[in-house]
């Protein structure tokens, strides 16, 4: 999905993402892109296999250059986490160790609380092929595991970073769960909605749709409930008025034609073309 807008202020900060012995520059780049999607900008690299910096990482980052430019290189996990107070290790395997295990959502909430308290934290993510070794996991306070298909829970670097980053981002976001975009129009008032109901029901009455008096109240309530749920805008109601009027138009024209043919001022035979013309005509 395209969604880059350089005119808007970028969200930055959050926990450090520490990639331990990442194998490919492309994977570092896509992980950096996932970080920037979620407002994370502290990328730490421990002994990347193909060296650093990496042109392939820059190409794969697709514009997340800010993260790559700030990325720091470390000789060991111990060095990469030395300034942190809390460390979370991301792993999908049971290490046979006595460890506290949390989901990304729980970890995000805890990391946000730590940072608010001025206690820096970070997430360890291991190599693509093997994941973290036990010695690296032993340096963490907590293990983070993503609940996935038990038979296939392996994630690539970017996937892991995006899941963790997304939970981090929404844990502090004030974005409502649902937003209705109205295309520049305003919400319709109840008065406007009731006027539309009157118009619609009048035409439905005229064309016989509501001819069953016994079921009419129930049908009207169902129709009103439908439009109430639609959360119509003022412009949408204008359009609906036009639709109802358009459907009624042909019937009204036919009615007026019939009325003219029945007018006492006209001779029906001449209207219908059934009278022979005389020579004087």
User: Is pLDDT above 90 for 31?
Assistant: yes
User: Is pLDDT above 90 for 8?
Assistant: no
**Stated length of the chain:** 281
Q: What is the pLDDT of residues 174-184, one digit of tens each?
A: 666 777 788 88
- Which of 128-137, 185-194, 233-242, 268-277 has the least mean pLDDT? 268-277
- Helices then strands, counting H and E runs in the chain, come out as 11, 7
User: Is pLDDT above 50 for 18?
Assistant: yes
Q: In which band, very low, low, confident or very high, does the pLDDT at 262 lie, cut at 50, 70 and 90?
A: low
Residue 47: DSSP 8-state: S
Contact 85, 120 (CB under 8 A): yes
The three-point CA angle 26-31-36 to 5° equals: 125
The three-point CA angle 165-34-20 to 5° equals: 80
- Predicted structure pTM score: 0.68
For strands 16-20 and 121-125, give the pairing: parallel
Structure tokens at 11: 């969200």
Which residue bears the tokens 């009048």?
202
Q: What is the pLDDT of residues 192-220, one digit of tens each?
A: 999 999 999 999 998 889 888 899 999 99
Contact 146, 163 (CB under 8 A): yes
Nearest in space to 224 (alpha carbons), one of 191, 197, 203: 197
What confidence score (pLDDT) does residue 169 get? Answer: 93
Helix extents (H) in the chain:
25-37, 55-61, 65-70, 77-80, 104-116, 134-137, 157-172, 190-206, 216-229, 234-261, 268-271
What confidence score (pLDDT) does residue 271 get? Answer: 37
User: Is pLDDT above 80 for 48?
Assistant: yes
Structure tokens at 87: 């460390």
237 phi, psi to nearest 5 deg: -65, -35
CA 157 – CA 60 distance, rounded (Å)? 13
CA 160 – CA 130 distance, rounded (Å)? 14
User: Across all residues in the chain, what is the average pLDDT?
Assistant: 85
Structure tokens at 39: 């407002």
- What lies within 8 Å, CB to CB, of 52 at 6+ separation is 45, 71, 73
Mean pLDDT across 13-22? 94
* Strands of the sheet with 16-20, listed across from one edge: 72-74, 43-46, 16-20, 121-125, 86-90, 142-144, 100-102
Contact 81, 18 (CB under 8 A): yes
């Amino acid at each position: 999905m395209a969604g880059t807008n350089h005119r808007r202020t970028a969200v930055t900060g959050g926990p450090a993402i520490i990639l331990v012995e990442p194998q490919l520059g492309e994977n570092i780049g896509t992980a950096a892109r996932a970080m920037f999607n979620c407002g994370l900008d502290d990328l730490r690299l421990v002994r990347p296999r193909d060296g650093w910096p990496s042109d392939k990482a820059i190409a794969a980052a697709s514009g997340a250059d800010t993260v790559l430019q700030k990325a720091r290189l470390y000789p060991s996990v111990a060095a990469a986490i030395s300034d942190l107070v809390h460390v979370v290790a991301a792993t999908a395997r049971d290490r046979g160790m006595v460890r506290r295990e949390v989901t990304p959502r729980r970890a995000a909430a805890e990391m946000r609380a730590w940072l608010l308290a001025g206690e820096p934290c970070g997430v360890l993510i291991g190599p693509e092929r093997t994941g973290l070794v036990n010695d690296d996991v032993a340096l963490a306070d907590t293990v983070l595991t993503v609940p996935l298909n038990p038979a296939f829970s392996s994630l690539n670097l970017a996937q892991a970073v995006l899941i963790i980053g997304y939970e981090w981002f929404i844990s502090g976001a004030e974005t409502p769960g649902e937003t209705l975009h109205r295309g520049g129009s305003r919400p319709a008032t109840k008065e406007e909605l009731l006027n539309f109901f009157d118009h619609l029901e009048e035409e439905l009455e005229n064309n016989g749709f509501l001819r069953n008096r016994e079921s009419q109240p129930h049908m009207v309530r169902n129709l009103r409930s439908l439009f109430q749920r639609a959360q119509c805008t003022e412009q949408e109601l204008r359009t609906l008025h036009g639709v109802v009027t358009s459907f009624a138009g042909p019937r009204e024209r036919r009615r007026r034609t019939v009325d003219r043919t029945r007018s006492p001022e006209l001779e029906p035979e001449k209207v219908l073309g059934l009278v022979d013309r005389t020579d004087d005509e």
